[in-house]
Amino acid sequence: MLSRYPWLVLMGPPLIAVIAAGLTIQLTPVIRGSSATTQSVAMQSATAQSALGPCKREGGRQAPSAPAAGTWWRATADLDAKGGLIGWNVSFGAPETRDSLLIVSPGSSVSGPRTGTIAIAEDDGATSVIHLVRPVRGCQDRIEVGAQIARHAVFDPTADGLLVHLLERGTRRDLGIWFVPEARGLPSLVVAPVEQAELERAGVGEVWTTNIEASDDGLYLAVQSCDPDGCLTRIQDRRTGVVAALDGSSGAMVGFAGPTLVVMGACSGLPCPVVVWNIAGGPAREIAPSVLGAAVAGNLVIAVVAGEGGVPESIAVDLRSRTRRSIGALDGGLLPLGGSAAFAGIETSPDQIGVARPDGMPAMLDLDDILPLGVAQPTEGQP
């Protein structure tokens, strides 16, 4: 495995910790219909697994990736005997493939999948790498980031590469968002580090987490700098490179719906409203109160809300018509997987959303079966 960015590399390639023995999870994570039930998960006895090998290249370039609905991952904490976090067990798989497990260091984060690939940014305290895991192809690549700390990486829809949030090692100073190509080439700065004055204007103290989210069409990149009280959200128009801060504070991002950014409110817990910003301007607008989880599918926001007496209900909000309708309850305590979900992800087709089961396993939910339910109501004027 080559180090493609020697300017960044302090150390040789770190070890990839791949579990040699673990659980094989046979999962068919497709849920259909409002009364759908999750298909059984068979936990088979442990079988030895080997590390996924490097992916084959065509002319020095990565083979083109294609959408691979059903590709999934799930991260669970790897704790020592005293309860200290010593790593993350990232299990992943895809339909018709063997599931695998990768153990990564505590400072790791996972995103995707997109076109069948899962991005894992891992830092071992001395060097950072980005694992590009491709369950369908049964292989993985790695990009060595080296001396800087790669906190989070998401796929850039406009190019073969990733958008990576970097910190300076030692000081943990924000270095901004960088484009890191999958193939050879130098990283380039995409969004500069947030300025202290801007944080102070927004009332954000020390930054605890930085979230990044790219719109599917690649036109917009959102960068959130968050303290526990809320986030400053900056949006970059990728065509012009201009970065503008949204006015106000918010919680974690749910996703883009065209030029609309869907976020959770700045809440300290659940339930919490979902609000939307039109990037072109205008104030934030609430589309659903008392939300427990939400996901975006095209121009729809699917949310589970706390209903009367604490009973969860599901709604679909059409951002174009500004209407919403009840779609009943999602069976089995399913919760939509929003963009900032830290523990699971699943690639879906446009008429599906990802959901998390109560045990944390991701699954797909077909929207066709549930959307005919309910009568559309205007979102304006809702409590």
Q: Which residues bind other proteins (CB under 8 A)?
A: 75-77, 79, 82-86, 88, 106-107, 151, 167, 172, 174, 200-211, 226-231, 247-252, 264-273, 275, 283-286, 289-290, 292, 306, 309-310, 312, 340, 342-344, 356, 360
Give min distance, CB of 286 to other proteins, in A. Answer: 4
Give min distance, CB of 43 to other proteins, in A. Answer: 14
Residue 171 vs 240, nearer CB to other proteins: 171
Half-sphere exposure of 319 (CA within 13 A, CB side): 25
Give min distance, CB of 207 to other proteins, in A. Answer: 5
Q: 3-state DSSP call for residue 333?
A: helix
Give min distance, CB of 55 to other proteins, in A. Answer: 28
Give min distance, CB of 208 to other proteins, in A. Answer: 4
Give min distance, CB of 233 to other proteins, in A. Answer: 12
CB neighbour list of residue 363: distance below 8 Å, 6 or more residues apart: 29, 30, 31, 38, 72, 334, 346, 354, 355, 356, 357
Sheet containing 139-146: order of strands? 109-114, 117-123, 128-134, 139-146
d(CA 27, CA 97): 10
Contact 263/274 with Cβ under 8 angstroms? yes
Residue 97 vs 209, nearer CB to other proteins: 209
Give min distance, CB of 255 to other proteins, in A. Answer: 15
Contact 108/89 with Cβ under 8 angstroms? no
Contact 305/71 with Cβ under 8 angstroms? no
Residue 113 vs 251, nearer CB to other proteins: 251
CA 265 to chain CA centroid, nearest Å: 18
Residue 295 vs 367, nearer CB to other proteins: 295
d(CA 170, CA 252): 27
Residue 208 vs 368, nearer CB to other proteins: 208
d(CA 337, CA 362): 8
Cα–Cα separations (whole angstroms), residue 85 to 108, 197, 343: 11, 34, 14
Give min distance, CB of 265 to other proteins, in A. Answer: 5
Beta strands in 135-242, from DSSP E residues, in sequence order: 139-146, 149-155, 161-167, 174-181, 188-191, 209-214, 220-227, 230-237
